[in-house]
Amino acid sequence: MSSQSEMIRRTTVPQIAQRKGGEPIVSLTSYHAHTAAIVDKYADFILVGDSLGMVMHGMDSTVGVPLDLMIMHGKAVVRGTQRALIVVDMPFGSYEESPSVAFRNAAKIMKETGCGAIKLEGGARMADTIRFLTERGIPVMAHIGLTPQSSHVLGGFKTQGRNEDTWAAHENDAKVVAEAGAFAVVLEGMVEPLASKITKQIDIPTIGIGASVDCDGQILVLEDMLGLNEWTPKFVKVYGDLGPQIEASVKAYAEEVKTRAFPTDAQTYT
Catalytic residues: 188
DSSP at 122? B
Q: For residue 233, which of 51, 27, 86, 33 has the smallest C-alpha distance?
A: 51
Q: How far apart are CA 222 and CA 114, in angstroms?
A: 22
Asked whether the beta carbons of 118 and 46 are under 8 A apart, the reply is: no
Pairing label, strands 140-145, 117-119 = parallel
**Which ranges of the chain does DSSP label H, i.e. alpha helix?**
4-7, 13-17, 33-39, 52-55, 67-79, 99-113, 127-135, 151-154, 167-180, 192-201, 222-225, 242-258
